[in-house]
Chains A and B, each alone.
Chain A
């Protein structure tokens, strides 16, 4: 699966670089939205065919909230480590880490304060999304299902959801959507807080 994903991604990048005319770019957003909606519809169909999902999730209860909470704490810890590695402002580093893969929003909020940090935020969150896509099959197979949500963070409710569903099961798909919503909401709160502290 990882190989196929990498091939599709590299083919896309090469096509974008050398083959596609500029006019295509504007339509790719719409194409992605349509593809994503179709995928989510099929994920819904998948979920509806399993009557045991809610019974299984009820057994775990509120403990599922540990997934988004640990994802956020882990990302912030990663931000602290990076501030030491690159010797940059701690709150700037935490603002970048709080993007949780939502590259457009985090970059837009950070750029007015520092265009360099804004660009790092944009690029690092793009990289995190791409890395998650490539790594999810490996993580699901060798580490655990819930960790697939941690890899992509905020994308777990949209672009990452079909990939997580395909490599885990329906219960994890529901946890993924709930976690993705919580993580996306957290980005809107944490990034402005840390930007305010720079």
Chain B
């Protein structure tokens, strides 16, 4: 895992360094959002392919799918709720919170 974290950090750092030093061509900078979207949707598609081809997932969905879905939903919702409550108390910077107060 440590190697993976280092790899991801290294790749981010290289992109950061090149961009901050102005080494990225302006025409590429303008296209970054489109390129990101294309790769992102490709990644999600491949993720779907993996799910569709994974026998472990397919064979267990029938038996314990609902239980797993409830676990996923409950843990994610509770995490969102706790982060929401904590940031309302502690973080006021709307640039970071997204400015959602209600």
Residue positions of A touching B, CB distance < 8 A: 4-5, 8-18, 20, 22, 24-25, 28-29, 31-32, 35-49, 51, 56-57, 59-60, 63-64, 66-67, 69-75, 77-79, 81-82, 85-86, 96-97, 100, 116, 119-120, 122-128, 130-133, 135, 139-140, 142-147, 149-153, 157-159, 162-163, 165-166, 168-169, 171-172, 175, 177, 181, 184-185, 188
Contact = CB atoms under 8 A, between A and B. Distances in A.
B11 A41 contact: yes
Contact of A172 (B53, B74, B96, B100): B96
Interface in B39-53: 39-53
21 contacts: A8-B41, A9-B45, A12-B44, A12-B48, A28-B53, A39-B39, A43-B12, A48-B15, A48-B17, A74-B78, A81-B74, A97-B71, A119-B64, A120-B68, A146-B87, A146-B91, A150-B83, A150-B84, A151-B80, A153-B79, A188-B1
B36 A12 contact: no
A39 to B, nearest CB: 5
Nearest to B2: A185
Contacts, number: 311
Contacts of B80: 74, 139, 143, 147, 150-151
A49 B57 contact: no
A126 B41 contact: no
Interface of B: 1, 4-5, 7-9, 11-21, 24, 29, 32-33, 35-37, 39-54, 56-57, 60-61, 63-65, 67-87, 90-91, 93, 95-98, 100
Contact of B46 (A31, A39, A47, A171): A31
A15 to B, nearest CB: 5
Given A127-B72, A150-B82, A158-B4, 8 more contacts: A5-B44, A11-B45, A45-B15, A64-B91, A70-B85, A100-B75, A140-B98, A150-B84
Contacts of A163: 40
Q: Pick from B4, B13, B80 the residue with the most CB of A within 10 Å.
A: B80
A8 B5 contact: no
Contacts of A57: 96
Contacts of B60: 119, 122-123
A150 B75 CA distance: 9
Given A16-B51, A56-B93, A145-B96, A37 B11 contact: yes
Contacts of B64: 116, 119-120, 123
Contact of A24 (B9, B20, B49): B49
Contacts of B11: 37, 40-41, 44
Nearest to A17: B52
A14 B87 CA distance: 39
A42 B95 contact: no
A86 to B, nearest CB: 6
